Amino acid sequence: MSAFQQLVLASGSPRRIELLQQVGIEPDRLFPADVDETPLKAEHPRSLAKRLSRTKAERAQAALAREPEHAGAFILAADTVVAVGRRILPKAESTEEASNCLHLLSGRSHRVYTGVCLITPAGKLRQRLVETRLRFKRLSREELDSYLASGEWRGKAGGYAIQGLAASFAVKLVGSYTNVVGLPLYETVGLLAADGFKVHFHWPAAR
């Protein structure tokens, strides 16, 4: 990034880092915020995604206030939630959790919500919520067992990674693909550019 603009990503997600790099943005600092992601009672999936992304951004902002070298940085945070109706699926950490998620998603539609939150150098807070609809094929026992054995599901919302083997499960996707991966690029770049961040600073020039 330029010497006059810094971007702090309030996440340690390799997927979000790779997505930003894909559009020529390299975060100057990673600040994975330790946030309790447990939904509140009767909380809607879209509300959870917005709340968690804002909490992560504000947590990073408070911590970075003690680091003068990051004064005036743009702070970007995101949180992705997978849901069937109002039922929020976990970020699978065990084979049982992943299996439960995949059995629920098999042969039906679900929604992926990502809340994106940007805190500007002037302290303004901007938010976007992006929704993608996705339908999986009916999964066979062999497909379920093979996917669980792959381990790709670990730590993934809904128990799958669309950018990996689970791409073969997707029958239909309506909306942003990068949203399902973990960071909707169109909306994220729009938020940054609208507040003066030089999104194209490192784009290669034609020779």
Supply the pLDDT for residue 33: 83
133 strand-pairing partners = 111, 174
> How many Cβ atoms from other residues are within 10 Å of residue 20's Cβ?
21
Q: Does residue 145 carry a catalytic annotation?
A: no
The structural domains of the chain, with segments of one domain joined by +, span 7-194
Of 28, 34, 36, 79, catalytic: 79
Supply the pLDDT for residue 67: 85
Class for the domain spanning 7-194 = alpha beta
13 in Cβ contact with 182 (< 8 Å): yes
Supply the pLDDT for residue 1: 44
In this prediction, the residues of the chain whose per-residue pLDDT falls under 50 are 1-3
Alpha carbons within 13 A on the beta-carbon side of 119: 22
Supply the pLDDT for residue 34: 84
Task: Provide the 8-state DSSP code for 10.
Answer: S
Query: Distance from CA of residue 200 to its chain's centroid?
Result: 22
Angle between helices 95-105 and 141-150 (to 10 degrees): 140
Supply the pLDDT for residue 180: 97
- Outline where DSSP puts E strands in 7-160: 7-9, 29-30, 74-84, 87-88, 109-119, 125-136
Query: Distance from CA of residue 193 to its chain's centroid?
Result: 19
